[in-house]
């Protein structure tokens, strides 16, 4: 009687954990926890830094260590800074009556590149997402409420994307803002942005037209 045919091992596109060292595996697992990195990208990055270009590793480690000590959120708007206030908040030439609310710091940077907004910003650091357990308490809203109460803001531009979670977040923000300042002019960008996409990767012309084509919320 013939022995049972051994199962052919499926060729894996990734390095199996048996093929790598425990330390490599640990690096791969940690990198995989970073946003935007799947299994394959984490593996590629680990190989690049540890084997292919190890000379790149130390400068990255040092830069991360130094940055982690000095980079933090702006006390006013939530953007990145190494002092109390970020560059925009510290600039007295910015139009303090116009506030643009964005989800993330890269969105702020994208709008800054478009030069279409001369006012200040507020960074939410996320958006409402019940599925992912993100509620109002998880967003940078306390300082927003304080700003609406104390700063001479007359116009708020909601510069969020146009998917369902962004829609829900805009609706929440609209209610919140009018609850504090009932006469506030609240508008929202939307025109020009492709459906389902965020702001970060939009080109300058698209972002500019989106900002220029903002519409009042609730109309
Ligand atoms: Zn700031």
Residue 55 vs residues 48, 49, 59, 60: alpha-carbon distances, Å: 10, 8, 8, 10
Q: Are residues 64 and 159 in the same domain?
A: no
Do 25 and 86 reside in the same domain of the chain? no
Residue 159 and residue 150 in contact, taking contact as beta carbons nearer than 8 Å: no
**Looking at the structure, do residues 101 and 178 belong to the same domain, yes or no?**
yes
pLDDT in tens, the chain (219 residues): 455 544 444 444 556 556 678 999 999 999 999 988 999 999 999 999 999 999 999 999 999 999 999 999 999 999 999 999 999 999 999 999 999 999 999 999 999 998 989 999 999 999 999 999 999 999 999 999 999 999 999 999 999 987 889 889 999 999 999 999 999 999 988 656 666 667 777 777 677 767 777 777 765
Q: Which of 27, 55, 70 is the last residue of a domain?
A: 70
Q: Do β-strands 80-81 and 72-73 pair in parallel, antiparallel, or remain unpaired?
A: antiparallel
Distance 120 CA to ligand 1 centre (A): 8
Using the mean position of ligand 1's atoms as its centre, give its distance from the Cα of residue 89 in Å: 4
In a domain, 3, yes or no: no
Q: Are residues 41 and 113 in the same domain?
A: no
Q: To which residue do tokens 């006012």 refer?
A: 119
- pTM, entire model: 0.77
Question: Do 88 and 55 sit in the same domain of this protein?
Answer: no
CATH code of the domain in which 106 resides = 3.40.1360.10
Distance 44 CA to ligand 1 centre (A): 36
CA distance 138 to 134: 6
- Domain stops at, among 70, 85, 107: 70
Residues 108 and 56 in one domain: no
142 and 207 in a single domain? The answer is yes
Local structure of 187: helix, strand or coil: strand
Instruction: Looking at the structure, tell me whether residues 137 and 212 fall in a common domain.
Output: yes
My answer on whether 24 and 93 are in the same domain is no
Q: How far is the CA of 105 from the centre of ligand 1 (A)?
A: 10
Across the chain, the runs of DSSP E, i.e. the strands, are 72-73, 80-81, 95-102, 119-123, 155-158, 185-188, 215-216
Size (the chain), residues: 219
Give the number of other CB atoms < 10 A from CB of residue 74: 23
Dist. CA 85 → ligand 1 center (Å): 5
Question: What range does the domain containing 101 cover?
Answer: 73-216
Residue 205 lies in a domain: yes
Name 126's Cβ contacts closer than 8 Å, sequence gap at least 6.
103, 104, 134, 138, 139
**Number of domain units in the chain:** 2
CATH code, 33:
1.10.8.420
């Amino acid at each position: 009687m013939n022995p049972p045919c051994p199962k052919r091992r499926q060729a894996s596109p990734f390095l199996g954990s048996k093929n790598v060292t425990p330390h490599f595996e640990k690096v791969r697992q940690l990198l995989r926890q970073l946003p935007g990195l799947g299994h394959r990208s984490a593996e590629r990055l680990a190989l690049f830094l540890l084997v292919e270009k190890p000379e790149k590793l130390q400068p990255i480690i040092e830069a991360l260590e130094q940055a982690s000590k000095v980079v933090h959120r702006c006390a006013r708007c939530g953007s990145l800074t190494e002092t109390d206030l970020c560059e925009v908040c510290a600039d007295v030439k910015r139009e303090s009556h116009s506030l643009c609310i964005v989800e993330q710091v890269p969105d702020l940077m994208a709008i800054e590149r478009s030069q279409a907004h001369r006012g200040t910003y507020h960074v939410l650091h996320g958006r409402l997402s019940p599925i992912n357990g993100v509620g109002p308490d998880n967003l940078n809203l306390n300082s927003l409420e304080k700003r609406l109460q104390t700063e001479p803001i007359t116009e708020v531009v909601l510069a969020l994307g146009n998917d369902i979670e962004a829609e829900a977040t805009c609706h929440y923000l609209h209610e919140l803002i009018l609850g504090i300042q009932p006469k506030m002019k609240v508008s929202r960008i939307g025109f020009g942005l492709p459906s389902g996409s965020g702001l970060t990767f939009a080109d300058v012309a698209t972002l500019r037209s989106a900002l220029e084509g903002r519409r009042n919320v609730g109309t």
